[in-house]
Structure 1
């Protein structure tokens, strides 16, 4: 892991419209430029932070992707989140002052460091930023709620369909193809995230491919029939 003090300009950042500065004018964005004091570069497998580490900042994913994990009661690693460019992570440690999960790079990754106290101070002076921060917190709460629903009430095929459709939507919002992308998580990590065993995930990928819903080559996935995937989610009861 390396830390760079090179200046980061939100105004020219490719993921600005997915991050906290969305909707701010040039003068307001310039104030956030002052806030961002560093960027952290991670190699695949590097930890951005670990369970118990002091927490004083949020992190905006500028390049690459990360997974967040917690330890289950039986000691197994449980994937709690998948984060890509434009996402903001680190909220888990704000209340207690220490991180409750680990964030690990799934590929070469770069994040912008947003010191939380300075972010709060600036948000009080910039209502649009405060609004964006509140929206972000709301999205995080909604995401956690949706994951609970995913694990608690959906069948195996529904869980994988939701996972693929969610990725599709997130890539679309970032200007990438919504039907062709590379899975950065392994099958085992995907299973951990959606609450399925590795064997079940592998079987479902094969089944979806046989049914013409997707095309899989290694970690590269092509969604061939979005309507059919959405229909799976609707076939409940």
Structure 2
């Protein structure tokens, strides 16, 4: 990880903090979060097989996680945005089963897991919040498998865009206009589609007036029709 940035109070609004957490407990939680590191596009947070010791908080920017098989082929397993925590998948086996890499300039903070465990015994609701985050990830993985088995390419792209829209809305940004930090190839890899298929699907969605696309700049024009096309599968 690269350039270190002086930490600023942040965790009151991150997903790790229980909703009713008092200010003094927020300070205790903030105290174990290490200074943010500025990552450039392509920088790794950790690599598949590295020993598990920490989880990570995205303060700004975005991260992708992916696996690499014995032939060197990569498969994207998820995207993480500001306020989200990643790295819990390494807890069970003692090593990270995926690699985590910055999609753009990203500010990311390390949270040592042993300190987080100790603090969860002292802060009511923290261990429950951790379990909620992990269960949400399991649910997202299950929904993704269902999406890939049921939906055609246009529907997969629609569901993906609605999910990204929800991420931005939850963070107080525009839910209708946003920039995709991932490439068409990365979207295709995540959704199980060829990059050419992804491009054609975006073209069709734009032709039918559901979205407007200019490079990675994206605008959702018709939420209702886009949701109908996604078959109601909005959360990935």
Q: TM-score, normalised by structure 2?
A: 0.92
The structure 1 residue matched to 2:179, chosen from 178, 182, 188, is 182
TM superposition shift of 1:19: 2.4
CA 1:156–1:112: 2 relative to 1, 3 Å: same
Quote the residue 1:151 is aligned against: 148
In terms of mean alpha carbon deviation, does 218-227 or 65-74 score higher? 65-74
> In 2, Cα distance between the equivalents of 1:234 and 1:144?
17
In terms of mean alpha carbon deviation, does 134-143 or 64-73 score higher? 64-73
Question: 3-state SS of the aligned residue for 2:125?
Answer: helix
Quote the residue 2:113 is aligned against: 116
Quote the residue 1:21 is aligned against: 17
Counting matched residue pairs gives: 232
Any gaps of 5 or more consecutive residues in structure 2? none
Quote the residue 1:76 is aligned against: 73
CA 1:126–1:54: 2 relative to 1, 3 Å: same
Quote the residue 2:53 is aligned against: 56
Contact 1:5–1:37 (8 Å) recurs in 2: no
Q: Superposition pairs for residues 1-237 of structure 1, below 5 Å? A: 1-2=1-2, 4=4, 6=6, 8-9=7-8, 12-13=9-10, 16-23=12-19, 24-72=21-69, 75-234=72-231
TM superposition shift of 1:216: 0.5
Q: Deviations over 1:26-47 (max 9, x none)?
A: 1111111221133222111101
CA 1:229–1:60: 2 relative to 1, 3 Å: same
Cα RMSD, aligned residues only: 1.8
In terms of mean alpha carbon deviation, does 36-45 or 103-112 score higher? 36-45
> In 2, Cα distance between the equivalents of 1:78 and 1:124?
36
Contact 2:5–2:38 (8 Å) recurs in 1: no
Q: Deviations over 1:96-131 (max 9, x none)?
A: 121111111011111111111110111111122122
In terms of mean alpha carbon deviation, does 74-83 or 42-51 score higher? 74-83
